[in-house]
Amino acid sequence: MKCEYDVLSGGPLPREAKEVLEGYRVYEAENGKDLWDKARKSRVFINWYTEVNEGMLADHGCLELIITRSTGYDHIDVKAADQVGVCVANQPELINEAVAESVVAGVLAAARMVLPGYEYAISGEWSRRGWPRHMRGVLIRGRSLGLLGAGWISSRVAHIMSSLGASPLLYYSRSRKPWLEVSLGAKKVGLRELFSSSDILINTLPLSRETEDLITFDLLSMLPENSIYVNVGRGRTEAKGAVVKLAVERPDIYLVLDVHRDEPLPEDDDLIRLAKERDNILITPHIAGLSQESFYGTILLAAMQARDYLEGSCVWNPVNGSCTTCTTIRPSLDEAIRIARMSLRT
């Protein structure tokens, strides 16, 4: 098959990304029925959350590389891509930083009752009922921190939370994380110990066959009194109905939920109804990874990764075995943020 494009982008590219790919045949498409047909005629596909399944990959044409402009890649059948020799890479750098900051913001908002306090003040309750003695919240210092998954986001959260005095640090992961153990004194534990011993529990698990429905009500119900449970991983890591049942039976637990089993949540969802009635449920619409810098900067970094592939047949962030990892120096996180902010000003 003749390759019509070097790079297909599943959405518009900012000016800086176009400059990075100058000299290459680039097509900016809209997500639609003919998107995969264009992807098959391209060497590199910068994927804006388009599903890529086994059937599509069976006839991948010219396609050599899929770069998803996201951290997660469960919308791509990575195993099928590997079987046909298509490299899959992700672009997590700026998104991970945004998610980590969102986790800390959610924990602090829960612990210090920021949103209930806001509602109390603007609703007129403050003037009618006086100082809210019932809004005591809890301190972070001296509370145990549990990490369900111990990748980059969890590690970043752990370092920030440790600086606020959270201790001890526990984590659950398939493998040991020596850097967490050495730098923060973290301890690797099993699932039941993690849930029963974590005053603050952060779920950053990706969705996979191993993690789907992993978190049951039985595990959630083991959380200590007045604990905080945060999920910025994937909603389907929680068993169906488990979180709603927890909200009903354990009103002492504060829930900070950015991801959900079904998205968007229906207006009549039980969790939304409970959130309207309670002060201990904070729901956001899967925006933890979304910031101005992460949105524009991630597209720019994806373009740079695509250029490195076209020039050297390698990628920065390989996901499957069909990729070759670049040995060239890529932009640091601070440099990526600086470039993203420059693009926002132009």
Q: Which residue has the tokens 């849930």?
A: 195
Residue 341, number of CB atoms within 10 A of its CB: 13
Give the span between the Cα atoms of 203 and 235, in whole angstroms.
Answer: 10
Across the strands, what pairs with 200? 145, 228
Are 102 and 289 a contacting pair, CB within 8 Å? yes
Q: Which residues are catalytic?
A: 234, 263, 286
Q: Which of 254, 245, 336, 237 is nearest to 296 (CA)?
A: 336
In single-letter form, the type of residue at position 302 comes to A
Residue of 316, 324, 322 whose CA lies nearest to 78: 322
Distance CA 223, CA 229 (A): 8
- The angle that helices 270-277 and 242-249 make with each other, rounded to 10 degrees, is 30
187 bridge partner residues:
170
What's phi and psi for 39, nearest 5 deg?
-65, -40
- Quickly count: other Cβ atoms within 10 Å of residue 42's Cβ: 24
